[in-house]
Amino acid sequence: MEFSSELFVFLVLALSMTACSILAVTTKRILRAATYLLFVLFGTAGIYFLLNYTFLGAVQLLIYAGGITVLYVFSILLTSSQDNEHIEKFKSSKIFAGLLASLAGLGICLFIILKNKFAPSQFTHGELDIKTIGHALMGAGKHQYILPFEVISLLLLACIVGGILIARKR
């Protein structure tokens, strides 16, 4: 296997995403966790761009890295209290359960990766044209996605309203 610039960029993105995802779940400050999550989402968009999926990369940046992270930050700022003295310590049983769940997830992922063959000839770089993607996203047919799109928009609206109601109670 030769070491190309694409491989180097992929390794940098993968390592930074791994480090930021570990930091996001281990930090005790919620705003730092949201910032690390933002870096993971940027890295995912970078991998999409590396694979020449420009539409998915742009959607990743606009929807997830932009909109969802802003929603998280506003939810955190609206609902968090000023004093963080009530942070509970983790019990050893919770740490053991978390490690057990992590190992089970790792085992399932390794089983799937090792069981299936991911031949390079089955993968082609590039994407469909924008017209085909647009018809698939906004169509109401069998394999089209207007209903999930609307359900997700209602879910996000409910989250925003819920965050405002929780903040107003204080």
Residue 168's pLDDT is what? 76
Give me the chain's average pLDDT, please. 81
Instruction: List pLDDT tens digits, range 73-132.
Output: 777 777 666 555 555 666 788 888 888 999 999 999 999 989 987 666 555 666 677 787
Q: Looking at residues 134-159, what average pLDDT do you find?
A: 80
Residue 84's pLDDT is what? 53
The rounded distance, in Å, linking the Cα atoms of 61 and 54 is 11
Please identify which residue in the block is written with the tokens 């020449």.
52
Q: How far from the centroid of its chain's Cα atoms is residue 116's Cα?
A: 24
Please identify which residue in the block is written with the tokens 């690390």.
36
Instruction: Give pTM, 2 decimals.
Output: 0.61
User: Cβ of 60: how many Cβ atoms within 10 Å?
Assistant: 21
Distances (CA, A) of 17 to 9, 32, 52, 107: 12, 15, 19, 20
Residue 35's pLDDT is what? 87
Residue 83's pLDDT is what? 53
Share of the chain above pLDDT 90, in %: 23
User: Cβ of 40: how many Cβ atoms within 10 Å?
Assistant: 20
Q: Looking at residues 16-35, what average pLDDT do you find?
A: 89
Supply 126's token pair.
Answer: 């590039």
Query: What's the alpha-carbon Rg for the chain, to the nearest Å?
Result: 20
Residue 136's pLDDT is what? 76
Residue 105's pLDDT is what? 93
76 and 31 in contact (C-beta within 8 Å)?
Answer: yes
Length of the chain: 170
